[in-house]
Amino acid sequence: MENISVKSTTVRLITDKPVRKTPYQVKGVFMKQFPGEPIIPFLDGSLRDKYFYPRVQVKIINEQIYIVGIKEGIDSIMSLVNNLQSFNFGNIKINIEKFDLEENDNQFKRTNNLLRYNFITPWAALNRKMFNSYNYLSEKEKLVLLKKLIGQNLLFLAKELGSENCSKIYTDVKIDNMKPDKIEDNGWGVFTGSFQTNFILPNHIGLGNGITRGYGTLFSLNNPLSPISSEFSDEKSEYIEEKINEEDESLNISSKDDILIFNKRKDIKKRHKPKKKKRYNKPRFNNKNTHSKKDNNKYDDDDDSKFNSDKYHQKQHDF
């Protein structure tokens, strides 16, 4: 199957005042002022069951509003922008002076070159469960996990938007600080940094958790004539197979009660308690200690190991 040409449009609203609001507040104004506009079902959750990845995304970057439309969401954005002259937050009215438009074709598909993207808003890579588990990993295991998260999110996008033959995606990440910041209200772990991949993405879309809240917004740093940046590791980039449920030799991810279990030998030796002398007129065994231990090697697979499933992405992204 050949790649389907996927289009995207980004509109930057140029206003008479800086916009110091959240994406949720901006979307709320849109829904209140323009209830009949075709963009509203893309913003109010009506199309969650139809589109797992948001076709319309609202961002606040440098105190300016960006509205990103992907595939089915493009026409609704243009309809809104053509009718939008101002919007009222209650405590402040903001006028639209003009808007910039960026249109792209042939997005969301694999390419033969490695391309670089920078996260211009924090990337919420870890949900609450994964945040707790992540802290127990080695530095190498952390990097492997972040590469897999990027790659399997990209595979999901490829399938969601029609590029079914994108079975091989390479990823490499450069994180500013491997210790994530924690968002207290939901327990997400966020990072800043950049990544490389052989997958074409439009500017200002989101990856990871909290896309509709503005997290994980990326921007292309690509120049086809420039060599691959030496800032990234010289090792071969992580290769993400389409068979996402197959166990990885270096990282075996499963979880229960916020635990990540790894397939590696334990170096910790068990300590043996000294034998106690028998005492007369007392029971030979302590009943409290005779219960069997639970088998810690058995975990259900209703976890985050199936990164590319529809169920996973519904949990990951708050559409």
Q: What is the CATH number of domain 6-106?
A: 3.30.70
Q: One fold for both 6-106 and 109-247+302-316? A: yes
Please report the pLDDT score of residue 253 as a whole number: 29
Among 2.40.50, 3.30.160, 3.30.70, 1.20.120, name the CATH number for the domain at 109-247+302-316: 3.30.70
Three-state SS for 184?
Answer: coil
pLDDT tens readout for residues 257-301: 222 222 233 333 334 445 554 454 444 444 444 343 444 443 333
pLDDT tens readout for residues 182-202: 998 899 999 999 999 999 999
pLDDT tens readout for residues 21-56: 999 999 999 999 999 999 999 999 899 889 999 999
Residues 47 and 41 sit within 8 Å (Cβ to Cβ): yes
Amino acid in the structure at residue 298: K
List the chain domain ranges: 6-106, 109-247+302-316
> Listing from the earlier edge strand, what are the strands of the sheet with 110-119?
218-220, 110-119, 193-199, 168-175, 238-241
Residues 100 and 157 sit within 8 Å (Cβ to Cβ): no
